[in-house]
Structure 1
């Protein structure tokens, strides 16, 4: 019997190893959305709590990794929206410089790209992040969000196009 099946049967003994198995993946995905280590940790804790609370209700056909990706993406996007609404993002960025090494995408995702990603609509941002940074297939992304592959491909193409435009604008604005 798999750990996921045991968890659905409320076998709490396997919970620790299951949580450890997915904790890093959840944190990295959350970080890619929120771009803040502490907030990514908060999202991770929320997702792990949701897993613990809802595990017995997961249907047997539910792919746990896809469920966790969807819940993490939604939780991270909600956290980012709340932070943006309150303008804490700008205050935190100005008050506390990023620590070297706290960003797993430091070499890949520069400030301009982070800004351009943040400017994308929610669906496009999710498709671009999951496809390019998480290297998920269109099918995996579609399963995660319960939409068709075609929808994901359209969101990805539009997001990538807009991302390129944003990056070009950022380059032309930089002295």
Structure 2
């Protein structure tokens, strides 16, 4: 890469790194693994920068990054040495301060519940509801049909409801 390509990549990286890292965290539920996934995504982007950047459309570039990130996260869950193992006893949760607020508790419960959703369904939920993509854009990012996105959304929301308990009735897919 020449100096102007490196400069353009550095600008794009600076503008998007936090959003990509946040999306990766929502996908995997662990900040350390989220950093690894974001790094792997940006390394792949740097490798293909000239080919992808040549299209001069930010939406294409963002879609490529989202798709690469989703593939990285989903592929990692398929590796046998990365699978989570159940513990014989569930540890007691750490005591929370009372003044932390309901928003923090709700967010923590949601992130914990997202970990219980299968990876592909979690990817669809994150793209649809956290990245605010429509069905067509989510299908393009994941490389699947719109029908698959719709069914994965329905199944993912059902799994999320089950993980959260029956108290959440307002999680409905937007049309």
TM-score (norm 2): 0.70
- Offset of residue 107 of structure 1: 5.0
Give 1:1-150 correspondences, 5 Å limit: 11-58=5-52, 60=55, 63-80=60-77, 82=79, 84-85=82-83, 87=85, 106=104, 108-111=106-109, 113-150=110-147
1:170–1:39: structure 2 CA closer, same or farther, 3 Å change rule?
farther
Number of the residue aligned with 1:4: none
Maintained 8 Å contact 1:27/1:44:
yes
State the shift of 1:144 in Å.
Answer: 0.5
Residue of 130, 148, 152 corresponding to 1:151: 148
* Whole-angstrom CA distance in 1 between matches of 2:162 and 2:84: 27
CA distance in 2, matches of 1:73, 1:67: 10
* Aligned-pair CA distance for 1:12: 2.1
CA drift of 1:72 comes to: 1.2
RMSD: 3.6
8 Å Cα contact 1:77-1:122 kept in structure 2: yes
TM-score of the superposed pair, with normalisation by structure 1 = 0.70
Gaps of 5+ in 2: 98-102, 169-175
**Residue 23 of structure 1: how far off its partner (Å):** 0.8
Unaligned 5+ segments in structure 1 are 1-6
The 1-side partners of 2:159 and 2:38 are apart by 29
The residue aligned with 1:161 is 158
